[in-house]
């Protein structure tokens, strides 16, 4: 994904819209526990700020994964905004600016990093996912299975034993 900015060099504040479609494999945005299905759409604008070029826009993708709690397959549409500054030539290491050469700004790395950094550490289908029953393995999101899942506190085991002896 290249943005040709030659027409922006003459005018301060000038905008250039862009729109790209790519696949996750092309930009190396793949992982072991999820995948981006279909095209990844990138839209936005490049603005000549005088000191560089501000690239801002939105990435739209569809993520497919298996929920870590209930093991259901899920599909989730995602939308991630980005805004980065690019400058031609060599940039000092301490500046928060991206460097590029020539008249083309390359967006593959920016899109990949934005997508991957926005992913949560665990894949959960919904915030209140109940997961699986520890006894029978039923998906608790579909209803209660009726299993007795009471687990006594091991710190109170001696008290429970004392109460049992007292009743005998």
The sheet that has 98-100: what strands, in order across it? 15-22, 34-48, 53-66, 73-88, 98-100
Q: pLDDT tens digits for 92-112?
A: 665 677 888 888 888 889 999
pLDDT given for residue 100 in this prediction: 84
Taking the complete model, does pTM exceed 0.95, yes or no? no
Residues with Cβ within 8 Å of 101's Cβ and at least 6 positions away in sequence, in order, are: 88, 89
Give residue 8's Cα distance to chain centre: 32
- At residue 91 the predicted structure's pLDDT band, cuts being 50, 70 and 90, is low
Q: pLDDT tens digits for 79-88?
A: 999 999 888 8
């Amino acid at each position: 994904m290249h943005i040709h900015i030659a027409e922006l060099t003459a005018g301060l504040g000038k905008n250039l819209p862009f729109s790209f479609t790519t696949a996750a494999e092309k930009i190396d945005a793949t992982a072991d526990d999820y995948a981006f299905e279909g095209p990844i759409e990138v839209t936005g604008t490049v603005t000549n700020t005088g000191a560089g070029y501000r690239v801002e826009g939105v990435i739209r993708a569809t993520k497919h994964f298996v929920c870590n709690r209930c093991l259901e397959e899920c599909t989730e549409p995602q939308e991630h905004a980005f805004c980065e500054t690019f400058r031609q030539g060599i940039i000092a290491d301490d500046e928060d600016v991206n460097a590029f050469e020539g008249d083309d700004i390359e967006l593959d790395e920016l899109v990949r990093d934005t997508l991957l950094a926005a992913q949560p550490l665990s894949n959960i289908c919904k915030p209140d996912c109940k997961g699986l029953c520890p006894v029978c393995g039923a998906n608790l999101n579909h209803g209660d299975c009726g299993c007795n899942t009471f687990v006594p506190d091991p710190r109170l085991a001696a008290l429970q034993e004392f109460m049992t002896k007292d009743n005998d």
